[in-house]
Chain A
Amino acid sequence: MNTKTLGDIVNEFQHVPTPPERVHRAASVVEQTNERIVRASNSMLAFDDSPGDFLALLAEGQR
Chain B
Amino acid sequence: MAIERLSLTEAAGAIARGEVTAVAVTERAVARMKRIGQVLNCVVDLDQTEALIAAATADKTRAEGKPLGLLHGVPLAHKDVFYRKGRPCASGSKIRRGFVPETTATVLDRLDAAGAVNLGTLHMPEFAMSPTGYNEHYGHCRNPWNTEYVSGGSSSGSAASVAARLVYGSLGSDTGGSIRHPAAMCGVTGLKPTWSRVSLAGVMPLSWSLDCVGPIARGARDCARLLKVIAGADPSDPTATTRSVPDYEGGLTGDCEGMRIAVPRTYYYDHVTREVKQALDESLATLRDCGATVVETAVPDMALVNAMSHLVLTVEAATIHRKWFAERPGDYADQVLARLEPGLYYPATRYAEALALRAKITTAFLKAALGDAHAIHLPAVSIPVPSIAETTEGNPASIATKIGVITHCTRGLNYLGLPVISVPCGFANGLPLAFQLVGKPFAETTLLRIADAFQRVTDFHRQLPILAQET
Contact = CB atoms under 8 A, between A and B. Distances in A.
A53 B440 CA distance: 16
B285 interface: no
Interface stretch (B89-97, B351-359, B463-471): B351-359
Interface string B313-338: 00000000010011001000000011
A29 B440 CA distance: 31
Interface string B419-448: 000000000000000000000111100000
A60 B441 contact: yes
B196 A58 contact: yes
Given A54-B358, A62-B440, A37 B326 contact: no
Given A36-B304, A40-B357, A14 B344 contact: yes
Interface of A: 6, 9-10, 14-18, 22, 25-27, 29-30, 33-34, 36-38, 40-41, 44-45, 49-51, 53-54, 56-58, 60-62
Given A41-B357, A49-B357, A62-B442, A33 B322 contact: no
A34 B310 CA distance: 11
Contacts of B361: 44
Interface of B: 194-196, 241, 243, 301, 303-304, 307-308, 310-311, 322, 325-326, 329, 337-338, 341-342, 344-347, 350, 352-363, 417, 440-443
18 contacts: A16-B325, A17-B326, A17-B329, A22-B341, A30-B345, A30-B346, A33-B342, A33-B346, A40-B301, A49-B356, A51-B355, A53-B360, A54-B417, A57-B359, A57-B362, A57-B441, A58-B241, A62-B440
B444 to A, nearest CB: 10
Kindly name the residue among A18, A58, A60, A61 whose own CB sees the greatest number of chain B CB atoms within 10 A. Answer: A58
Nearest to B243: A61
Contacts of A37: 304, 307-308, 311, 350, 353-354
Nearest to B337: A22
Contacts of B360: 44, 49, 53
A41 B325 CA distance: 30
B357 A34 contact: no
Nearest to A13: B344
Contact of B356 (A9, A34, A45, A56): A45
Contact of B357 (A14, A45, A56): A45
| Chain B residues touching A, majority SS | helix
B307 A36 contact: yes
Given A22-B337, A45-B356, A61 B440 contact: yes
Nearest to B340: A26
Given A16-B322, A17-B326, A58-B241, A51 B358 contact: yes
Nearest to B242: A59
Given A14-B344, A16-B344, A34 B304 contact: no
Nearest to A51: B355
B398 to A, nearest CB: 16
Kindly name the residue among B195, B243, B344 whose own CB sees the greatest number of chain A CB atoms within 10 A. Answer: B344
Kindly name the residue among B243, B311, B337, B359 whose own CB sees the greatest number of chain A CB atoms within 10 A. Answer: B359
Contact of B304 (A10, A14, A17, A40): A40
A54 B352 CA distance: 13
Contact of A38 (B308, B338, B350): B350
A33 B455 CA distance: 40
B4 to A, nearest CB: 37
Given A10-B345, A37-B311, A62-B442, A53 B338 contact: no
B350 A34 contact: yes
B224 to A, nearest CB: 17
A60 to B, nearest CB: 7
A45 B357 CA distance: 6
Contacts of B308: 37
Nearest to B350: A37
Contact of B310 (A33, A60, A62): A33
